Structures are given as structure tokens and as C-alpha cells.
Amino acid sequence: MEDTSAWSGPKSLLQSETLYQYILDTTVYPREPDCLKELRNVTANSPWYYMAVPPDEALFLSILLKLMNAKNTMEIGVFTGYSLLNTALAIPDDGKILAIDIDREAYEIGLPVIEKAGMARKIDFREGSALTILDQLLNEEKYKGLFDFVFVDADKDNYLNYHKRAIELVRVGGVIAYDNSLYSGLVVAPPGEPLYRGDTIDRDAIVELNKVLAADPRIEVCQLSIADGLSLCRRLY
């Protein structure tokens, strides 16, 4: 049995740590590639380890990418690259990932593992403001509707701004996935409940995002309670 201390708590909405451990030990860890396990352990040494996608969510996304036959993907928010490597392993040999993060330093932590796994060739890492880079992409017609899958796990107060842009970059029938869409359950926190200022800002942004996604006629949306909440949006037109 592996220690899940770096992957439970706020990254899982399950009320039973024993049940979560059962899921990991039964279906997740036995299927986790060695390179992903190595990167997960490297990430666990970071004080910001909780920012990484947990392994059960990664396994779900891997299966989803394969079911979609996704080839061209984008990731907004990279951190150490655990979900990035997970995507690289799931897409075909000629698949590509456009990875965007404002901070390359965290990505450098996981890059040696990604390179050792032979997956760096699939990744086009771009450092900078995601909004600026997305706007640059939209200025080139070739990027509109190019992406099969877009994964968003970045600054929550910009999720709506990312949605406005990602919906034009993903193909019809493609999927945009928004991580942390239940925000540790705080989306249903009682009015007036004291929260840290940062949590209040991010929670309010996620609540607004969920309202917009639910009413957006351009997408089908499914909100999952895996990890910290995951919203899948399939573009209709």
C-alpha cells in the first residue's frame, strides 16, 4: 500500500480516506506507468505538491483521451508536468501538446522525468501569460478548431477568460476540461462562512464559471466529483 498523504485531503472529495486508498490500490497504482510514478514522487517533495493532478484523475483523463483518439491537445497550467506527461503517454506518437504556464521553474522539476520517458518531443512548452498566448493563437486562423482536447488547471479567476478563448480553439466535438470545478466543496459553502481571501476569490470565480458553463448553448457539460471536481465540456458548434 502506497502513502497517499500527498494526494488525498483537498484533492479528493471522498469522505473516506480508506475508500480513496482502495481505489488507488485496486485500479490506479497497478496501472500507473513507472515514469508517472517517478514524477508523482518528485512532485510530492514540493511544498506546492497539492497543485498536481491526483493519479486517479490522471487515469480517467488518459482513458478519455484514448477514447477520443485525441492528437492535438493543449494544457493551460502545467506545474511539474504530471498531467502533461500523462497526456503525452495517452496520445499517439505523432501527437502534440501545447503547454502553457507563466512559470517554467516548476516545469523544470519534472522535465528530466519527461525527457527520460521520451515524451518531451511531443511537448511545445510556452512560458508566459496564458491569455496573451491564447490571443496570439486566435490571431492565426490555423489554430481555430485545431485542438481535440484542452485541459485547464490554472488561475481560477481567469477560468471564464480561458473559456471564451478555448471554445474557439477546440474543434467541434472536442473537449475542454476544467479542473477544480467543485473547489474543495466550497462552491456550496454557506453564505457568510469565513474563508481565506484567496479562497473566496477563487471560489466565487468557480461558482460563476459553473453557472456560465451550465447555460452555454455551444457545449454539453458534465460535472464530475472526481478529485477536486472536473467539468467536461464538449463543443457542439
Q: Say whether pLDDT at 10 is over 70.
A: no
Tell whether 98 is covered by a domain: yes
Structural domain boundaries, residue 142: 17-235
Tell whether 208 is covered by a domain: yes
Q: Residues with Cβ < 8 Å from 221, sequence gap 6 or more?
A: 213, 214, 231, 232, 233, 234
Tabulate helix, strand, coil % of the chain (nearest 5): 50, 20, 30
Residue 9's pLDDT is: 42
Residue 38's pLDDT is: 98
In this prediction, residues 13-26 reach a mean pLDDT of: 91
Residue 5's pLDDT is: 44
Q: Say whether pLDDT at 217 is over 80.
A: yes
Q: Say whether pLDDT at 8 is over 70.
A: no
Question: Is-contact 136 74, C-beta < 8 A?
Answer: no
Q: Say whether pLDDT at 218 is over 90.
A: yes
Tell whether 1 is covered by a domain: no
Tell whether 6 is covered by a domain: no
Residue 201's pLDDT is: 86
Residue 72: all three cell numbers together: 492535438
Tell whether 112 is covered by a domain: yes
Quote the number of domains for the chain.
1
- Out of 52-61, 126-135, 193-202, which region has the weakest mean confidence (pLDDT)? 193-202
Residue 167 Cα distances to 123, 144, 173, 233, angstroms: 21, 9, 11, 9
User: In this structure, what CATH number is given to the domain that contains residue 121?
Assistant: 3.40.50.150
* Confidence band, pLDDT 50/70/90 cuts, at residue 15: confident
At how many degrees (to 10) do helices 159-169 and 130-138 cross?
A: 30
Residue 74's pLDDT is: 98
Tell whether 11 is covered by a domain: no
Residue 111's pLDDT is: 98
Tell whether 9 is covered by a domain: no
Tell whether 12 is covered by a domain: no
The CA distance from 191 to 87, in Å, is: 38
